[in-house]
Amino acid sequence: MNYRILGRTGVRVSPLCLGAMMFGQWGNPDHDDSIKIIHRALDAGINFIDTADIYSRGESEEIVGKALADGRRDKVIVATKFHASMGDDPNQQGNSRRWIFQEVEASLRRLRTDWIDLYQVHRPSADTDIEETLGALSDLVTQGKVRYVGSSTFPASQIVEAQWTARERRLTRFVCEQPPYSLLVRGIEADILPTCQRHGMGVIPWSPLAGGWLSGKWRKDSAPPSTSRAARMPARYDLSQPVNQRKLEAADALGRLADAAGMSLVHLAIAFVIKHPAVTSAIIGPRTMEQLESQLGAADLTLDSALLDRVDEIVAPGTNINPADAGWENPALAPAARRR
């Protein structure tokens, strides 16, 4: 596997990052089976694992910790995230110094490790100054509990603000951004990807299969697959909505394009994401061993210009077919913020 540098850190990571969101109650509740999947990924050359405290309320981190307890920890780049609510207490969430200091200890305990390689802010917080967040993260780096820090699903303006604040206040800067990116969700090409390139940041996109839309099962001549996500996120899956009908048409066209090129749509989707020069590593999130095996070969694919031109004809560069797939809602556009 050809390893890539994460931003300007000098740390080499695999072009596929194993996402652990589906390990635990949210996906695969069998810890032993999940650990086997993790070990298979590591044996295949993946050295980068991404999880978050919120995934199955800490269970995902616990599974990753168990999987690396056999002596593999030193060879794996472990990334996790904080921000989402982890309890009924109103302060068990967010990007404040208070919560960061409390939650990092919980993540370290669940991961069974003394340090986190990459600690990421899962989402921006409109009520917390970025200097507050970066100051706390800088202290964790100084303490040796965290090696590097990053952001996830930040808009370009806040990525720039974080870089400026780190420089002006001499704080630890974000070395990477984790945005949504896929054949159907290309909005980050317009601003976020070039912004990260200008600031020397790595990019580790989540959901290269667009939440299952690019699994090959969403086709116009087939019934939509059963998924628990449809009930939780109707805005992204309800086919009665015109934007999702357009997604279905695009997924079908991309599936036919992959068939004509002699590859699976899964491979095309993942290879497309890691082909972009700004992207470091694409996060794959298998729930089963079969899903992992279907995704591993994507890093070896070469996509020629003619194929990429056809992709652009199906989904225009820099666009999200469904705005709900952006992963972040701008609070400035909320009804209360728009009232005169």
Residues marked active site are found at 55
Residue type (1 letter), 182: S
Give the alpha-carbon dihedral of 17, 23, 26, 27, to 10 degrees.
90
H or E element in which residue 50 lies: strand 48-50
SS3 197: helix
User: 162-178 burial, b for 16+ CB within 10 Å, e for fewer?
Assistant: bbebbeeeebbbbbbbb
**Which tokens sit at 143?**
């303490």
In terms of C-beta density within 10 A (0-12 exposed, 13-18 middle, 19 or more buried), how is residue 227 classed?
A: middle
**Which tokens sit at 199?**
């600031």
N-to-C CA span, the chain: 55
| Sign of CA pseudo-dihedral 260, 207, 331, 169 | negative
User: 85-119 burial, b for 16+ CB within 10 Å, e for fewer?
Assistant: ebeeeeeebbbbeebbeebbeebbebbebebbbbb
Q: Tell me the C-alpha distance between 122 and 165, whole Å.
A: 18
131 Cβ neighbours under 8 A, 6+ residues apart: 165, 169, 171
